[in-house]
Chain A
């Protein structure tokens, strides 16, 4: 199984400031056949199901604000919220879909400082 490790477990950021979340996979999720990283990011607000933010490591899902961006390749990935808004308070998860079983990171809780 591919193990996904996120850091930090939590972070507090002032409104309007940048939030950065890291995700590391135990093996590469970059496909040599299509040169794409099989990595998604989800946002989960309290009492709600997760919501898809980004796939292919950097492609925003339709309707997702452009303050959310994903980067990285191979085994190291980053989700950046460029200017934190109050509605961004949530837990963020990375997930690999390179191979089954599909696996998630442990989550990073983002709060307002």
Chain B
């Protein structure tokens, strides 16, 4: 049965680096796109970024300077690092699988579009001094 399991530190001080890992169990790691999405307490969802099994990444511009998403295909895992955290980064962080639904040539390269068909259970990360 397919599962996404998340782990990482839940309490950070301002200026520290958030680090979370998501393990993929029960399905192929390749052929999908692997995402991080966050949700501040009581608020809506924000897409952070994505990585494919080859290591190509795409990040939301507002976080791009602080975010790194990496992949370890040998362990079927992908990870999120967010540097210089502040209280505004307090949120439940979800990993999610992206299932490709579109693939097309555009502007000199191939592009894809994926939908989030499976989500991890989420990990609350609190930033507090």
The answer, among B47, B102, B113, B120, for a CB contact under 8 Å with A103, is: B47
Mark out the residues of chain A between 81 and 107 whose CB falls within 8 Å of any chain B CB in the assembled complex. 93, 95, 97-98, 100-107
Contacts of B47 in A (CB 8 A): 101-104
Interface positions of B from 82 to 129, Cβ below 8 Å from A: 94, 96, 101-102, 104, 113-117, 119-122
Contacting residue for A52 out of B44, B102, B116, CB 8 A = B116
Identify the closest chain B residue to A62 (Cβ): B117
Name the B residues within 8 Å of A97 (CB-CB).
101, 113-115
Q: In the complex, what's the smallest C-beta–C-beta distance from B89 to chain A, in angstroms?
A: 17
- Tell me which residues across on chain B come within 8 A of A106, comparing CB atoms: 44
What's the tally of chain A residues with a CB closer than 8 Å to chain B? 28
Count of B residues near A, CB < 8 Å? Answer: 22
* Interchain CB contact under 8 A, B115 and A104: no
A62 to chain B, nearest CB (A): 9
Residues of A close to B101: CB separation below 8 A: 55-56, 97
Q: What residues of A have a CB within 8 angstroms of the CB of B121 in the complex?
A: 48-49
How many CB-defined contacts (below 8 Å) exist between A and B? 56
Q: How far is the CB of B48 from chain A (nearest CB, A)?
A: 9
Is A78's CB within 8 Å of the partner chain B? no
Establish whether residues A93 and B45, one from each chain, have CB atoms under 8 Å apart when the complex forms: yes
With a cutoff of 8 Å between Cβ atoms, the chain B residues found around residue A95 in the complex are 45, 116
Q: How far is the CA of A40 from the CA of B94 in the complex (A)?
A: 17
- A107 B44 Cβ-Cβ under 8 A: yes
B58 contacts A by Cβ under 8 Å: yes
Chain A residues within CB distance 8 Å of chain B = 1, 31, 33-34, 36, 38, 40, 42, 48-52, 55-56, 61, 93, 95, 97-98, 100-107
Question: Can you list 6 A-B contacts with CB-CB less than 8 angstroms, sorted by A residue number?
Answer: A34-B102, A50-B116, A52-B115, A56-B101, A102-B60, A105-B44
Residues of B that sit less than 8 Å from A by CB: 44-47, 58, 60-62, 94, 96, 101-102, 104, 113-117, 119-122
Q: Beyond the given A38-B102, A104-B46, A105-B44, please list 5 additional residue pairs across the A-B interface where CB-CB is below 8 A.
A: A56-B101, A93-B45, A101-B62, A104-B44, A104-B47
